Amino acid sequence: MSWLTAFLGWLGEFFGDGANWTGSDGIPARLLEHLEFSALALALAVLVAVPLGLAIGHTGRGGVLVVVAANLARALPTLGLLVMFVLLLGASSIWPVIIPLVLLAVPPILVNTYEGIKGVDPELRDAAYGMGLRGGQVLGRVLVPVALPLILLGCRLSAIQVVATTTVAAYTGLGGLGRYVIDGFATKDYASVVGGSVLIVLFALFVQVVFALVQRLTVSPGVSRRLTIR
């Protein structure tokens, strides 16, 4: 049996049985749980990484240290962190899952935000100061719009990683699409494993499309043309 046949057969079971489709173990419920975990982790990572990246990129202080620390953080094993936080905090809340996901999501956003601000043409920065703009105005009106494509790239990379890694939430008894994978392995229901895996991949592709639309709507056409020329 091919993976496609297994996936379609498993998906057909949910469509064929209304209780399975609408129950707490149905695809919509699990997808919503996966979305909630992923969105919360990504939002917290953005709140931490973007302001820090903007400040460091604008002032030029501590940039090397941040890049090195971010690259080291990428090497942290998410599953190991999950187990550690479960032991420290218990499995009665979502935070043992959310904290490792935030730690996973921060480095790409932080590095890309820092590099985006730092990489703005110095002549453009000098021209902004020459027009009478001050530090915060230069950052908000000039540097951020130019660096926005890189900032969004960092957010997109983090979002995809978080969506894929949120699968580990099932190890702590929480929900999400990872339940199909973990429970499927436990019960040797490999159609469920394939089905859950395919849904996670499709969710990640959907995130790609969403960020592409966000970039198209928010990035200035002049900045987009400049990136294309480069």
User: How many CA atoms within 13 Å lie on the side-chain side of 134?
Assistant: 1
Q: Which fold does the domain 3-15+26-229 belong to in CATH?
A: MetI-like fold (1.10.3720)
Identify the pLDDT of residue 223: 58
DSSP code per residue over 2-69 = -HHHHHHHHHHHHHH-HHHHHSTTSHHHHHHHHHHHHHHHHHHHHHHHHHHHHHHHHH--SHHHHHHH
Does residue 219 contact residue 152 with C-beta atoms inside 8 Å?
yes
Identify the pLDDT of residue 163: 93
Whole-prediction pTM = 0.85
Greater pLDDT, 11 or 145: 145
Give 176-187 pLDDT, tens digit per residue: 888 888 888 888
Does residue 113 contact residue 147 with C-beta atoms inside 8 Å?
yes
Domain locations in the chain as residue ranges: 3-15+26-229
Give 19-51 pLDDT, tens digit per residue: 456 667 788 888 999 999 999 999 999 999 999
